Amino acid sequence: MQYDLILRGAHVIDPSQKLDEILDVAIIDNEIAAISKSISDPASREIQLKGKILTPGWIDIHAHLYPGSTTWGIHADAHYLSTGVTTAVDAGSAGWSNLSGFIDHIVAPSRTQFLSFVHICGIGLTYGPLPEMTDLRYADPERTAFMIEHFAEHCVGVKVRQGKDQVGDNEVIPLQKAIHAAELAKVPVMVHIGRGVSLPQILDLLRPRDIITHCYQGTGDGILDENGLILPQVFKARSEGIFFDVGHGVGSFDYGVAKQAIENRFVSDVISTDLHAHSWDKPVASLPQTASKLLNIGINLRSIVAQCTTNAAIAIGREDNLGTLQVGTVADLAAFDIIEGTFDFIDVRGHVERGKHLIEPVLCIRSGSVYEPDELLSEVQEDIAKAKFQKQLNSKDWSALGWNP
């Protein structure tokens, strides 16, 4: 048999198949064709990955990827491919009224697979600085569910933000409306948690496979009680099949909360970035950078890989074809180095943790096409400049923009 590509000699970690050994992986067209200790058949191209970690393509289930139509959206196609991420999920930038624009103008031309949690607010996060769910007229479960079903290839669930800053005095009514939409469309809900709305009250409404995002946030009404212990309702929710996602962002990864949770034997199910115009340069940088933070406070590499691949795919209901190197699935793969040295990692409070390991991407394969970080550098830099402009505009940083009103 003639393969298109063989990746040779990598240390393959694939939690979906319990693989953790040196293997070769072969690709034909856009699918995994073979995986074994030694593949003898020829290939049109071979890449030697001795000493590298090879995993399924990473999945970022929380980002904001609708530039030009939302205040936080960024151009991130090249960024993701340069960091080993083959699938990214926009977390509610679009609602039912502007979802088709997201699909036509962002999803369709991108090389990275972009998917969507559709916001229960009909206009999504068009103007992020203002609360979207103080006026419940924006919430339309039926239209939301219809659009999710109509664009089922691109949609994985419903998004709702449940901090008081987003819902005002409406408590959990927005969540109830989001769950109604999710039940109609038979998809999960991703719930942003934050100060001002009781987490136990939220958890009491959730169903198996719903997702709590920002699980390590430290702004209040989080997973810890006043004594720094995990709320019993959190353990109960996990036992019932609810996922807990990192969702780092610019305000939702607190080292104090994360370390306390880990000491209490509570580890996130999924690692995600909440990448957007205000979080890209710092404190997030990338999914491997976010994962490196957890690696350096005690989460082992196998768990890191599972959270960024297999678990992420299960959380968005795409485990049949994503987050795995099973023969016959799409050829989405990522190769990494684990660099040893001294590295400083920062959380959203400005707290710095010094670590000894950095997960560094070296190769990404998306649907059989090979991408190397250096080849994408100029494109990434252009997109970072666009994100910087959006951040300055959002912040009214007129001097940086060269404007004197």
* Per-residue pLDDT tens digits for 295-336: 999 999 999 999 999 999 999 999 999 999 999 999 999 999
Query: Same domain, yes or no, for 121 and 241?
Result: yes
Say which CATH number the domain at 179 has: 3.20.20.140
Residues 192/214, Cβ–Cβ less than 8 Å: yes
Query: Same domain, yes or no, for 49 and 86?
Result: no
Residue 36 falls inside a structural domain: yes
Q: Which domain holds residue 351?
A: 3-55+331-371
Taking Cα atoms as reference points, which of 103, 107, 101 lies closest to residue 76? 107
Query: Same domain, yes or no, for 82 and 161?
Result: yes
Give, in order, the Cα–Cα distances in Å from 199 to each of 192, 221, 230: 10, 6, 12
Query: Same domain, yes or no, for 102 and 234?
Result: yes
Report mean pLDDT in 10-residue bins for the chain, 405 residues. Answer: 97 98 97 97 97 98 97 98 98 98 98 98 93 97 98 98 97 98 98 97 98 97 96 98 98 97 97 97 94 98 98 98 98 98 97 97 98 98 97 96 95
What's the pLDDT at 128? 82
Distance CA 200, CA 162 (A): 12
Give, in order, the Cα–Cα distances in Å from 52 to each of 16, 210, 307, 361: 19, 34, 19, 10
pTM, to two decimals = 0.98
* Per-residue pLDDT tens digits for 64-98: 999 999 999 999 999 999 999 999 999 999 999 99
Query: Same domain, yes or no, for 256 and 344?
Result: no
Distance CA 41, CA 59 (A): 31
What's the pLDDT at 367? 98
Q: What is the DSSP pairing of strand 19-28 with strand 31-36?
A: antiparallel
Taking Cα atoms as reference points, which of 333, 355, 384 lies closest to residue 47? 333
* Residues paired with 27 in a beta bridge: 5, 32
Residue 182 falls inside a structural domain: yes
What's the pLDDT at 79? 98
265: alpha, beta or left? (left if phi > 0; alpha if psi -120 to 50)? left
What's the pLDDT at 281? 84
- Residue 216 burial (CB < 10 Å; 0-12/13-18/19+)? buried
- Cis? peptide before 283, omega within 30° of 0: yes
Distance CA 248, CA 266 (A): 17
Q: How far apart are the first and last CA of the chain?
A: 67
Residue 325 falls inside a structural domain: no
Residues 47/5, Cβ–Cβ less than 8 Å: yes
Q: Which residue has the tokens 């720094």?
A: 228
Q: Report the number of distinct structural domains present in the chain.
A: 2
Residue 64 falls inside a structural domain: yes
